[in-house]
Amino acid sequence: MPSAVFDLRTDLVSRADQLATVNCQLIVRSELLELPCLDLIARIRAEADENPALEVECDLPWEEPASIRVPYGAPRPVSDLQSDLGARTPGELGLRDELHRRVGWVAEGRRREIAAWLIECIDERGYLTTSTFEAALELGEAHTEVDAALRALQRVAPPGVAARNLRECLLLQLDELPEVPAYIREVVEHCDRALEHGGWPALCEGLGLTPAQSREALRVIRSQLTPYPGEQFRTRWHHLAPANPHATRPDVALSVHGAEIEVALTTSVALNVRVAEAYRRLDERMRQSSLRADGDAAREARAQVRSARQLIWSLQERERSLSRISRTIVEQQRAFILGGPLDHRPLTHKRISELTGLHESTVSRATTGKLVQMPSGDCVPFTIFFDDALPAKTVLRGILAGEPAAAPLTDEQLQAAMREEGYPVARRTVNKYRRILGIPSSTERLRIYQAA
């Protein structure tokens, strides 16, 4: 029987296989797309520091690194105070910026510097969070000088701002009202005793007020005075501000020109990135002469030029994608941008993906963690355009703003009120929206109203 012979073939066989490859340029483009404005500029500058073939010009007059932003109530050294307020974006201007602008009207020299330091100790409510004694010790100044600077600041500030307690806050506001009856001023001067001695009726009885005077004093205090004068400087979008500490400057600015809404990318306006001229000429000569790069220096130079061009291409692709996405969002949410939160329309990343031809993940990366400056000047997160609950939350805020202080609305009552406004939501949904908006429960709100 013939034996079985197995031949081992060693000739080459060609096959067409698809191998997964990674495009480094696409990776860089995706990374750049995720970065908000200031982080992108920092990334480009870092690349320019390492690659001499890359030249970067940045014209961003209001740029301020997030690392030096100071929260309310934390004083900064006088030398570090922001001086060019006119260069700040409107959405970023707040109470302390306005006070720094005004203080020059009433003080100069060292007294102005003391007042500027005190401004940095004013919280969002408008109250001074330090005493003049502590300020005098910190600044090494006489107490009388600090007190004089505070008085000057209180004269130029909106009424009630820079007060040290509720009583002083209300009295400063009364000073600006014409022809205030003496009994109303007396009520305000003793308001801090109201909670300790039986509340409002006991206070009015102790001051000898008639029922008519008591009602009039209460009307004036409720209608013309406010316990938190600083809150008037919050923008309409304050409760929607993102928690991302890096999102401090808008990536997209919207402006209205006639019937059109113009979309501008801040990085396109601010950044000018190009290949350095000397490196570009060297690379061009070697390419035209078809010469190989002999020597380490020539090879390194050409590699740096390629790296610079790849980064520029990735940056351009980022700008094109962000611009296309932003313009499509503006088209879909035109009524909301011009009319306000109640005109918001449902919108999803998938819908923007279909309209732009970009992948849904690209839309998500382009809009996450970034800000848009609205035509009003307010800065809002990109995610606001995809918040289907925004109209309902806006209606809820409006209902709560008009609730009676003596009997704050419970979640069940808020649910009924929202149903009457055309928003039939569940009670647990009302509770969720209230918590998102940072609004306390009815019991806690009652305590706040009573204290105020």
pLDDT in tens, 387-446: 998 899 989 988 988 888 888 899 999 999 999 999 999 999 999 988 888 788 888 888
- Best mean pLDDT range from 39-48, 236-245, 302-311, 350-359: 350-359
- Best mean pLDDT range from 189-193, 247-251, 369-373: 369-373
> What pLDDT was estimated at residue 233?
63
Residue 83, pLDDT > 90, answer: no
3-state helix, strand, coil in the chain (%, to 5): 55, 5, 35
**CA–CA separation, 31 vs 368, rounded Å?**
12
Whole-model pTM above 0.85?
A: no
Reduced to 3 states, what is the DSSP secondary structure of residue 105? coil
Across the chain, mean pLDDT equals: 78
Pairing of strands 252-257, 371-373: parallel
> What pLDDT was estimated at residue 349?
93
**CA–CA separation, 207 vs 186, rounded Å?**
8
pLDDT classification of 327: cutoffs 50, 70, 90: very high
Residue 256, pLDDT > 80, answer: yes
pLDDT classification of 90: cutoffs 50, 70, 90: very low
Reported as a single tens digit per residue, the pLDDT across 160-203 is: 888 988 888 888 888 888 888 888 888 888 876 665 556 777 77
Beta bridge partners of 260: 257
> What pLDDT was estimated at residue 293?
53
Residue 43, pLDDT > 60, answer: yes
Q: What is the mean pLDDT of residues 117-125?
A: 86
**CA–CA separation, 449 vs 403, rounded Å?**
11
> What pLDDT was estimated at residue 295?
63
Residue with tokens 């500029």: 41
Which domains does the chain carry? 70-233 (no CATH), 252-386 (no CATH), 390-451 (1.10.10)
> What pLDDT was estimated at residue 195?
53
CB under 8 Å, gap of 24 or more: what pairs does 96-103 form? Answer: 96/72, 96/120, 96/122, 98/158, 98/233, 99/153, 99/156, 99/157, 99/161, 99/162, 102/156, 102/157, 103/152, 103/153, 103/156
Q: What percent of the chain has pLDDT over 70?
A: 78
Cβ–Cβ < 8 Å for 249, 38: yes
> What pLDDT was estimated at residue 335?
92
Q: Which of 43-47, 97-101, 378-382 shows the lowest mean pLDDT across its residues?
A: 97-101
User: Cα torsion for 240, 242, 247, 249, to the nearest 10°?
Assistant: 10
> What pLDDT was estimated at residue 417?
92
Two tokens, residue 289: 């002469």
CA pseudo-torsion sign 434, 439, 440, 446? negative
The conformation of residue 368, written as its DSSP 8-state character, comes to T
> What pLDDT was estimated at residue 357?
93
> What pLDDT was estimated at residue 324?
94
Residue 137, pLDDT > 60, answer: yes
> What pLDDT was estimated at residue 197?
59
Residue 76, pLDDT > 90, answer: no
Reported as a single tens digit per residue, the pLDDT across 140-165 is: 888 888 998 998 888 887 888 889 88
Two tokens, residue 187: 């009520």
**CA–CA separation, 340 vs 334, rounded Å?**
10
Per-position b or e across 115-139, b if 16+ CB within 10 A of its CB = bbbbbbbbbbbbbbbbebeebbeeb
Per-position b or e across 229-252, b if 16+ CB within 10 A of its CB = bbeebebebeebbbeeebbbbbbb
Residue 246, pLDDT > 50, answer: no
**CA–CA separation, 255 vs 261, rounded Å?**
6
> What pLDDT was estimated at residue 353?
93
* Residue from 216, 151, 148 nearest 188 by CA: 216
Beta bridge partners of 57: 272
Cβ–Cβ < 8 Å for 452, 194: no
